[in-house]
Amino acid sequence: MEAQVENAIEIASNPTSSQQLRGQAIDYLNQLRTEGSAWQAALTLFTRDPRPTDFVRHTSLDLVNNAVQEHRLDEQSLAYIKDTLMGHIRQSYAPGSGAADTNHIQNKLMQTVTYLFVALYPSAWQSFFDDFRALAGDQATIGSVNTATTFLYLRMLGQVHDEIADQLVARPEDEKKRNTELKDLIRQRDAQKISLSWQEVLAKWRESDLALVEMCLRTIGRWVSWTDINLIVNQAMIATFLEMAGQQGIADPESPAGRVRDAAIDTFSEIVGKKMSPADKIELIMFLNLSEVVGQLITSPALAEFNSPNYDNDLAETVAKLVNNIVFDIVKILENDSVDEQTRQRADDLIRIFTPYLLRFFADQYDEVCSTVIPSLTDLLTFLRKLQKKSGSVPPQYAAVLPPVLDAIIAKMKYDETADWGEEGEQTDEAEFQDLRRRLHVLQQTVTAIDEPYYVETLSRVVNGTFGRLSQGDQTLNWRELELALHEMYLFGELAIRNQGLFAKREPSSIAAQQLVVMMNSMIDSGLASYPHPAVQLQYMEICVRYYQFFEQNPHFIPKVLENFVQLTHNNHIKVRSRSWYLFQRLVKHLRAQLGNVSYNIIQAVGDLLAIKAELPDTSEDEMSSDEEDQSADALFNSQLYLFEAVGCIASSNTVSVENKKLYAQTIMSPLFADLEQTLSQARNGDERAILQIHHIIMALGTLARGYSDWVPSNNNSAVPQSEVADEFIKASEAILVALESLNTSGSIRHAARFAFSRMIAVLGSRLLQQLPSWIEGLLSLSSSMDEISTFLKVLGQIIFTFKSEIAGILDTVMTPVLQRIFTALAVTPSGTDDEIQLAELRREYLNFITVVLNHGLGSVLVSNANQATFEPIISSIETFARDTHDYPTARLAIFVLIRMISVWSGPDKVGPGANTASTSPVTTQAPLPGFDNYVIERFSPLAWSIPASPGFNSKDAQAKQVLYEAANLQTEIIKKIGEPYVERLKNDLSGMGMGDDGVDQYLRTLAGAFEGPKKEKEWRNFFTQFVDRMLSGRA
At residue 925, does pLDDT exceed 60?
no
**Average pLDDT of span 106-120:** 95
Residue 596 pLDDT greater than 90, yes or no = no
Of the candidates 653, 640, 533, 548, the residue with the CA atom closest to the CA atom of residue 590: 548
Q: Which residues contact 911 (CB under 8 A, 6 or more apart)?
A: 975, 976, 979, 1008, 1011
Query: 821 falls in which pLDDT band (50, 70, 90)?
Result: very high
CA quadruple 526, 527, 528, 529: dihedral, nearest 10: 150
Q: How high is the pLDDT of residue 15?
A: 87
Contact 264, 321 (CB under 8 A): no
- Could you give the angle at the alpha carbon of 904 between the alpha carbons of 903 and 905, nearest 5°? 100
pLDDT of residue 398: 87
| pLDDT score of 679 more than 60 | yes
Phi, psi (deg, nearest 5) at residue 507: -120, 150
Q: Determine which of 238-252, 265-279, 571-585, 889-903 has the lowest per-residue pLDDT on average.
A: 238-252
Q: What is the mean pLDDT of residues 538-564?
A: 95
Residues 653 and 592 sit within 8 Å (Cβ to Cβ) = yes
3-class SS letters over 924-946 = CCCCCCCCHHHHHHHHHCCHHHH
pLDDT, averaged across the chain: 91
Of these ranges, 102-111, 201-210, 422-431, the one predicted with the greatest mean pLDDT is 102-111
Percent of the chain with pLDDT over 70: 96
Angstrom distance (rounded) from CA 354 to CA 401 = 11
Per-residue model confidence (pLDDT) at position 713: 65
Asked if pLDDT for residue 848 goes beyond 50, the answer is yes
Enumerate domains of the chain plus CATH numbers. Answer: 233-417+428-450 (1.25.10), 883-1036 (no CATH)
Instruction: Encode pLDDT of 628-671 as tens digits.
Output: 555 688 999 999 999 999 999 999 988 889 999 999 999 999 99
Amino acid at 182: L
- Report the C-alpha gap between 755 and 795 in whole angstroms: 10
Cβ 493 vs Cβ 546: under 8 Å: yes
> In terms of pLDDT, which residue wins out, 805 or 519?
519
pLDDT of residue 140: 77
As a whole number, mean pLDDT of residues 119-128 equals 95
CA separation for the pair 451, 992 (Å, rounded)? 79
Res 783: pLDDT: 85
pLDDT, tens digit, for every residue of 468-517?
999 999 999 999 999 999 999 999 999 998 767 888 888 888 899 999 99
Query: Which of 173-177, 205-209, 661-665, 786-790 has the weakest average pLDDT?
Result: 205-209
Q: Residue 4 pLDDT more than 50? A: yes
Q: Is the pTM of this model over 0.95?
A: no
pLDDT given at position 624: 46
Note the pLDDT of residue 1025. 95
| DSSP collapsed to 3 states, 890-923 | HHHHHHHHHHHHHHHHCCCCCCCCCCCCCCCCCC
State yes or no: pLDDT of 924 exceeds 60. no
Contact of 367 with 431, CB cutoff 8 Å: no
Q: Can you give the pLDDT at residue 914? A: 76
- Taking only Cα atoms into account, the Rg of the chain, rounded to an integer number of angstroms, comes to 40
pLDDT in tens, 192-226: 999 999 999 998 888 888 999 999 999 999 999 99
**Predicted local distance difference test score (pLDDT) of residue 95:** 73
Q: What is the mean pLDDT of residues 378-387?
A: 95
Provide the 8-state DSSP code for 507. E
Rounded Cα gap, residues 1016 and 1023, in angstroms: 10
Burial 238-253 (b: 16+ CB within 10 A, else e): bebbbebbeeeebeeb
How many Cβ atoms are within 10 Å of 258's Cβ, its own excluded? Answer: 20
| pLDDT at position 295 over 90 | yes
- In this prediction, residue 382 carries a pLDDT of 96
pLDDT level of residue 928 (50, 70, 90 thresholds): confident
- CA nearest to 405, candidates 433, 383, 380, 436: 380
| Res. 717 pLDDT band, cuts 50 70 90 | low
Tell me which of 86-100, 911-925, 961-975 is least confident: 911-925
Write down the pLDDT at residue 598: 85
Q: What is the pLDDT of residue 138?
A: 84
